[in-house]
Amino acid sequence: MTAPYAPHDPVPDLDPPPGRTPLGRLVRLGLGWILVVVGAVTAPTPVPVGLPMVAVGLYLLARESKTVRRVIRERRRALPGFSRRLNGLKHRMPRGVRRMIEATDPLPQGEGGE
C-alpha cells in the first residue's frame, strides 16, 4: 500500500470567512492554545471536561494554522483506527467541523473510509 499523502504535499487551505481580522486570528489562536493546555492538564481528572476542551482548542487552532492541520493529519495517519472513526462521525457534525475533518484527512476523498 502506498502512502497517499507525503509530508511535502501542500496542506489544503480553508478559506477564512469574510471580515476576519489579524487581531481576531490572534485571539482565536490564543484561545485555542489556552484550551489545549488547560484541557490537557484537566484530562486526567474524574470529570471528563479535559478532552472536549482539547478538541475545541485543536479545532480553533486548525482553523487558523496550516501547521496545526499538517500535524493533525500526521497524527491521524499514525492512528488509522481513530481516523476511520472520526470519518464515520463526520456526517453527524456541524458543517465547520465536517470541513475540518475533511481538511485533516490523511487519505484523498475517494479513499477516506467513507
Q: What is the pLDDT of residues 29-52, one digit of tens each?
A: 999 999 999 999 999 888 889 999
Biggest CA pair distance of the chain = 44
The pLDDT tens digits of the residues spanning 58-70 come to 999 999 999 999 9
In angstroms, the CA 77 to CA 82 distance is 9
The C-alpha atoms of residue 63 and residue 44 are separated, in whole angstroms, by: 26
The per-residue pLDDT for 114 is 47
Mean residue pLDDT of the chain comes to 83
Domain assignments of the chain as residue spans, ordered by start: 22-64, 79-114
